[in-house]
């Protein structure tokens, strides 16, 4: 479905696709894979914009070719500086393929609303999205532990210092991959439909946005075995995650 131009982006006058993607990629070539070709005015300037979307999300999709077929695997992730971490079992066929240096793409998307226009053609969605292109590095030793800590702390701040750390045997069963954030782009849409000034506005139909929110609920204790007292960092987690997941300004 073609997407209407974002009114908020239009108010800024937009920008060339080269200028937007070059800044968002943190120095990657504007002719590379991260160059925004459709609706480049929705690109967001600078590495900070890429980092903001990554820091807000909780699930990424790791996409690559495995045994001749494209595969996109959802997984948790974490970020430290300009490095993105993903992990999984050493038996994972996808991770085994990724660590061999094949080209890969990692995406994170947060859907903030459904945009309902006067015509089906102009329907859209409000979203925040990042695409990262690169080749994974397999981590070992201290770097591997640092990657697992980044993933854990991204999902549940304070949990790495609270829960038992992995044993040597558990680490041997886990792969941790790192991606440099050298070639990445952020794309964002917000605001109402883009047909308010078009002839369809005279149809008298309702148009607007249906906001969507992912919220964290109160922790539920394990009922299959003994548990301790809920620690402060977990009691505070629902509010922290809900705020983090919400669009900027909400």
Please tell me the pTM assigned to this model: 0.82
Tokens of 147: 């990657």
DSSP 155-215: HSTT-TTTSPPPPHHHHHTEEEEEEETTSEEEEEE-SS-S-TTSGGGGG----EEEE----
Query: What's the mean pLDDT in 37-57?
Result: 76
pLDDT at 198 exceeding the cut of 50: yes
Contacts of 20 (CB under 8 A, 6+ apart): 36, 40, 41, 43, 44, 45, 185
- Give me 153's structure tokens: 């702390």
**pLDDT exceeds 90 at position 6:** no
pLDDT digits (tens, 9 = 90+) for 160-185: 999 999 999 999 999 999 999 999 99
Confidence bin at 250 (pLDDT 50/70/90): confident
- Asked whether residue 39 carries a pLDDT value surpassing 70, the answer given is no
> What does the pLDDT average to over 38-60?
80
Rounded to whole angstroms, how far apart are CA atoms 116 and 191?
A: 11
CATH of 7-214, one of 2.10.109.10, 2.10.60.10, 2.30.110.10, 2.60.120.10: 2.30.110.10
The answer, yes or no, to whether residue 206 has pLDDT greater than 70, is yes
* Alpha-carbon gap, residue 29 to 26, rounded angstroms: 9
E-assigned strands of the chain? 60-66, 69-75, 77-80, 83-89, 104-116, 124-134, 137-138, 174-180, 184-189, 208-211
Instruction: Provide the pLDDT for residue 203.
Output: 95
Three-class SS state of 69: strand
Q: How many CA atoms lie within 13 A of 87 on its CB side?
A: 22
Q: Which pLDDT tens digit goes with each residue over 83-138?
A: 999 999 999 999 999 988 899 999 999 999 999 999 999 999 999 999 999 999 99
pLDDT at 101: 86
Q: Give the Cα separation of 86 and 61 in Å (integer).
A: 10
Q: Which distant-in-sequence residues (6+ apart) come within 8 Å of 174 by Cβ?
A: 87, 88, 89, 90, 144, 148, 166
């Amino acid at each position: 479905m073609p997407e209407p131009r974002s009114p908020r982006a239009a108010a800024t006058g937009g920008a060339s696709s080269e200028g937007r993607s070059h800044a968002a990629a943190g120095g990657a070539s504007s002719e590379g894979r991260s160059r925004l070709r459709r609706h480049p005015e929705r690109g967001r300037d600078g590495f900070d914009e890429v980092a903001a979307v990554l820091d807000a999300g909780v699930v990424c999709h790791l996409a690559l070719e495995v045994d001749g077929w494209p595969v996109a695997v959802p997984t948790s992730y974490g970020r430290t500086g300009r490095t993105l971490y993903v992990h999984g079992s050493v038996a994972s066929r996808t991770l085994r393929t990724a660590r061999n240096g094949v080209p890969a793409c990692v995406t994170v998307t947060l859907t903030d609303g459904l945009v309902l226009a006067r015509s089906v053609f102009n329907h859209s969605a409000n979203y925040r999205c990042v695409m990262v292109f690169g080749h994974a590095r397999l981590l070992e030793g201290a770097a591997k532990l640092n990657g697992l800590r980044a993933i854990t702390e991204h999902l549940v701040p304070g949990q790495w210092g609270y829960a038992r750390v992995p044993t040597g045997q558990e680490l041997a069963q886990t792969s941790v991959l790192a991606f440099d954030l050298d070639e990445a782009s952020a794309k964002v849409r917000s605001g109402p439909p883009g047909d308010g000034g078009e002839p369809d506005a005279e149809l008298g139909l309702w148009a607007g946005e249906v906001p969507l929110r992912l919220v964290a609920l109160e922790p539920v204790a394990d009922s299959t075995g003994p548990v301790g007292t809920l620690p402060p960092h977990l009691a505070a987690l629902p509010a922290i995650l809900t705020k983090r997941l919400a669009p900027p300004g909400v």
